[in-house]
Structure 1
Amino acid sequence: MDSIDLEVLKSAAGWVADGLRCELVTVVKTWGSSPRPIGALLAICGDGRVVGSVSGGCIEDDLIEQVRLHGISRTTPELVSYGISADEAHRFGLPCGGTIELAIEPLSPASGLQELLSRLERRQLVERRLHLRSGAVSMAHAAPGANQHIEADVLCTVHGPRWRLFIIGAGQLSRFVAQVASAMDYHVTVCDPREEYRGGWNVAGVDLVHVMPDDLVIEARLDGRSAVLALTHDPKLDDLALMEALKSDAFYVGAIGSRVNNARRRERLKLFDLDDADLARLHGPVGLYIGSKTPAEIAISILAEMTAVKNGVPAALQVNHASALEPPGADACARAE
Structure 2
Amino acid sequence: MTIWEACQKLTSEGTSFVMVTMTGVRGSAPQDIGAKMLVTKDGLFYGTVGGGKVEMASIKKSQEILKGEQSPPESVVWNLQKDIGMSCGGEVVMLFEHHHQSNWPIVIFGAGHVAQALTRILSKLNCSVTCVDSREEWVAKLEGVKGIHHPTPKEMVKEFSPHCYFMSMTMGHAHDVPILHEIAKHAPDCPYIGVIGSDVKGIKIKKELKDLGVSDEFLKKLRVPMGLPIGTNQPYEIAISIVAELLQVRDAALEKT
Bin for the TM-score computed over the shorter chain? 0.5 to 0.7
Q: Is the 8 A contact 1:126 1:139 kept in 2?
A: no
**In 1, distance between residues paired with 2:139 and 2:154?**
23
Q: Is the 8 A contact 2:70 2:100 kept in 1?
A: no
Partner of 1:215: 155
Equivalences for 1:77-226 in 2 at 5 Å?
A: 115=3, 118-122=6-10, 123-124=12-13, 125-128=15-18, 139-142=38-41, 147-149=69-71, 157-160=98-101, 162-194=103-135, 198=137, 201-206=140-145, 207-220=147-160, 222-224=161-163, 226=164
Show structure 2 runs of 5+ residues with no match.
25-34, 43-65, 77-95
Structure number with the bigger relative contact order (C-alpha 8 A, sep ≥ 6) is 2
Give the residue type in structure 1 aligned to 2:184: L
Secondary structure of the 2:151 match is coil
Give the residue type in structure 2 aligned to 1:299: A
Q: Within the alignment, does 1:296 sit opposite 2:239 as a pair?
A: no
TM-score, length of structure 1 as denominator length? 0.49
Superposed CA RMSD: 3.6
Give the residue type in structure 1 aligned to 2:197: G
Q: Which residue, out of 239, 242, 249, partners 2:177?
A: 239
**In 2, distance between residues paired with 1:194 and 1:202?**
11
CA 142–227 in structure 1, closer or farther in 2 if over 3 Å, else same: farther
CA 265–304 in structure 1, closer or farther in 2 if over 3 Å, else same: same
**In 1, distance between residues paired with 2:149 and 2:104?**
18
Q: Is the 8 A contact 2:111 2:142 kept in 1?
A: no
By how many angstroms is 1:127 displaced?
3.1
By how many angstroms is 1:218 displaced?
1.6
Partner of 1:24: none
Give the residue type in structure 2 aligned to 1:203: L
Give the residue type in structure 2 aligned to 1:178: T
Q: Is the 8 A contact 1:128 1:137 kept in 2?
A: no
TM-score, length of structure 2 as denominator length? 0.62
Q: Tell me how many residue pairs correspond in the alignment.
A: 197
Q: Is the 8 A contact 1:120 1:159 kept in 2?
A: no
Partner of 1:81: none
Secondary structure of the 1:257 match is coil
Partner of 1:284: 224
By how many angstroms is 1:268 displaced?
0.8
Give the residue type in structure 1 aligned to 2:9: E
Partner of 1:6: none
CA 313–290 in structure 1, closer or farther in 2 if over 3 Å, else same: farther
Show structure 1 runs of 5+ residues with no match.
1-113, 315-337
By how many angstroms is 1:309 displaced?
0.9
